[in-house]
Structure 1
């Protein structure tokens, strides 16, 4: 039977995980890099700029 490649993929150590995602800001930056690898581009006007950060709720628009 073949191995499930997802199950046996290399993971992060706890130390590396905390170094990469230890704070809220680090997590937000990582999510932004994954979501917008070329930077945020506005879906309405098509220009590249910083996304609007809603601090009253945990949302990015």
Structure 2
């Protein structure tokens, strides 16, 4: 029987994953760090500021 290589790769344990990304807020913060490592810079005016959170549609813009 073939082994699932995805399951056998080294990485986070379930406990560590839940500690790092267990809440929606933790996930949003991680996504922001990955998407904008040097903070958000407006593509139109070049102003550097915090991204606007659209809670009605659960989008980050």
TM-score (norm 2): 0.82
Distance 1:48 1:4, change over 3 A: farther
Aligned pair count? 61
- CA separation in 1, counterparts of 2:23 and 2:8? 27
* Superposition CA RMSD, Å: 3.0
Q: Which segment drifts farther, 3-12 or 40-49?
A: 3-12
Distance 1:53 1:3, change over 3 A: same
Structure with more helix by fraction:
2
Distance 1:55 1:2, change over 3 A: closer
